[in-house]
Chains A and B, each alone.
Chain A
Amino acid sequence: MYSGLLWLALALYALGIGLTFPSVVRRRASLPPATLGVLGLGLLLHAVALGAEGAEIHRLPLTDVRSALSFFSFLATLAFFFVYLRYRITALGIFMLPLVFVLTLISALRPDRPFASPAFRGGWLLTHIASIFLGYTAFLLTFVAAIMYLIQERELKSKKPRAFYYRLPSLDVCDELYSRSLVFGLPFLSLGILTGFVWASRTWKGPWELDPKILASLITWLVYLILFSTRLSGTWRGRRSAYLAVFGFVAIMVTFLGISLWSGQHGYVPQLGSLP
């Protein structure tokens, strides 16, 4: 049932993205209610799909790559609405939603059954996963803000205004979104990693510290820590930190998707043997 809902949500997302384009091309100050309505309905169906899946397995549907992807793209769309309502950036959807769409699509295309491992009960793990995803969502915004900043900065430095000059927000708005999402995301990522350590040291035996996903997470965390401190002190600002933010988000995607395939404990596959 929930996969049908997910497909429906996906179709609405696609329609919403399609409807966003003319507003951006025509340089509208805001998205028309129809576009927001379509995206909002997509979000609602997405929420219902997640809820139905959660009800079936009696916990947050985060237990495999498929449902985790779906959950992340749900959070990202939710974040899109928050940011849009706050900043009214018409072009935001163009930069943010295609990625959401692709992630949801991958999720809808992988019809694995969710599995109910006993490991997924318990507060530490739940806090670990929820915090990590909130952090990821914030950093998606940092990434989008950085991309918009880089394009607008290029337009301004080149001194030859082209299409994006007229359609992207000011550098100041990009920078504000960038730093706010960074400040929001870092505590969650830190909390997520810490609770992960606590949980792992309590439940896993053996050299869990060498798990590739854990190592990748630490690198990602380090990247964002550098971004955070340099932005706060003002030593790095603008283009350089925007590049690093792009790198950071690519690292997240690699950690999230890539390493999951090799990692033992984080493989999101029911290798019950490796779980105590």
Chain B
Amino acid sequence: MNFVLVGLNHRTAPVEVRERLSIPESRLGAATAALVQGEGTLEGLILSTCNRVEVVVNARDEVDADPLLRNFLTHFYQCDLGPYEGYLYWHRQQDAVRHLFRVAASLDSMLVGEPQILGQMKRAYSVAREMGTLNGLLNEVVTHAFAVARKVRRETAIGTAAVSVSYAAVELAKKIFGNLAGKTIFVIGAGKMSELAAKHLLSSGASAIFVSNRTYDRAVELAQAFHGTAIRFEQLPEYVGKADIVISSTGAPHFVVRKEQVERMLAARRNRPMFFVDIAVPRDIDPAVNELDNAFLYDIDDLERVVDANKKEREREAVYAEEIVQQEVQKMMRRLASRDVVPTIVALEERLDLIRQGEVERHRGRLSNLTPEQREALEALTRGIVNKILHGPLTELKRAAGHPEHGILVQLIRKIFGVAD
């Protein structure tokens, strides 16, 4: 096993460099194939997204893979790597494994815990599999990286808190209403953000959307898009109180919803809670509304603050995730060692010699009157048998050492001779 990974990401390289060095999906197959063309490399994988490029190979043990990778990059980009050197990071062996695990688990992402990277990595994986460049130890590492990502997602809350404003609005609505099924949304004023928030709310189960806008036609348009009802702006006060969640983003210079109005609405609703999301600047909803019991008002700054707090919460969860990754890296390294040829040969020899000695010991009683010469001959005899038996498997192991599939053979031989992992 000889893993080397070279890459750059959103932290090490500015966007111009990432653009220049990113590998479009259409060329990914060819690039991956080119990566393992040489004699020295057994396996290879390339992951390229807008935030990162990772190129990883499993080279022959005796080969120095760095020049191979450099060579590949220079050829592929058809430029001198010199100016980009400072943006690249290099990881070898255990560090490369850890890096792959961290990337898959979204610990290295711009938004820690966002799951997209796992999908992107899976696509890169299937390209490499198609190209036949992933069939040995590196394959095992990458598939295990997916398992680590799943484990992190299962055992930590790293992906749960919303990290965008519109999702934060949904998350808050769920903290107030629990289940959003059957909850009514009222959208005042059109706008990209309010539409997005409404869309997220609808896909979380909310329904019956009312839309109101100064220009009634636009309201009708929006209502159609959301399967809702358009309301004339003048009728707004009658209808707002019927909604559980109110999203407002008008260009009005004054408050569209005032505290006294909300007070009346709440009384009419028998104090069932209301959630107001005010995305407009200047604000549409009187901030004093938040002072009312059972009314919750968040403006755009409040939502940003929730997003910030959520990001911090994700970072706290990331600490647990890092622990999981660390454990998994160690487990992986132990498993890889058991797939390796040299430790297997040693273990095999030890195991058979132990059996030989045990058997000689067992018959010591009956062999007690042997002369030293005879005893020596017995030792030589038993050793000879063991060596003859070992000859076949050891030759096969040594021959397999250069092949990517050797892990399977190593496993098989270990199993046949009862050498534990």
A residues engaging B (CB < 8 A)? 26-27, 152, 156-157, 159-162, 165-166, 169-173, 176, 233-240
Contact = CB atoms under 8 A, between A and B. Distances in A.
A161 B271 contact: no
A159 B160 contact: no
B157 A157 contact: no
Contacts of B174: 170
Contact of B156 (A26, A161, A170, A237): A26
A26 B320 contact: yes
A165 B174 CA distance: 12
A71 to B, nearest CB: 33
Given A26-B155, A166-B157, A166-B161, 16 more contacts: A27-B317, A159-B298, A160-B309, A161-B313, A166-B313, A170-B176, A170-B177, A170-B178, A172-B176, A173-B178, A176-B178, A233-B270, A234-B269, A237-B270, A238-B271, A238-B294
Contacts of A160: 305, 309
Given A26-B157, A172-B177, A172-B179, A159 B306 contact: yes
B176 A159 contact: no
A22 to B, nearest CB: 11
Contacts of B403: none
12 contacts: A26-B155, A156-B172, A156-B176, A165-B175, A165-B309, A166-B157, A172-B178, A173-B178, A235-B271, A238-B293, A239-B294, A240-B293
A156 B293 CA distance: 12
A256 B220 CA distance: 62
A161 B310 contact: yes
A161 B294 contact: no
A159 B172 CA distance: 10
B296 interface: yes
B49 interface: no
A163 to B, nearest CB: 9
Contacts of A237: 270-273, 293-294
Contacts of A169: 178
B161 A157 contact: no
Contacts of B302: 159
A234 to B, nearest CB: 3
Interface string B254-277: 000000000000000111110000
A32 B309 CA distance: 28
Residue from A156, A159, A162 having most chain B Cβ neighbours under 10 A? A159
A150 to B, nearest CB: 12
A157 to B, nearest CB: 7
A164 to B, nearest CB: 11
A176 B179 CA distance: 12
B164 interface: no
Interface in B127-184: 155-157, 160-161, 172, 174-179
Contacts of B272: 234, 237
A229 B178 CA distance: 24
Nearest to B176: A171
A180 to B, nearest CB: 14
A169 B155 CA distance: 19
Which interface residue of B161, B290, B294, B298 has the most chain A CB atoms within 10 A? B294
A157 B270 contact: no
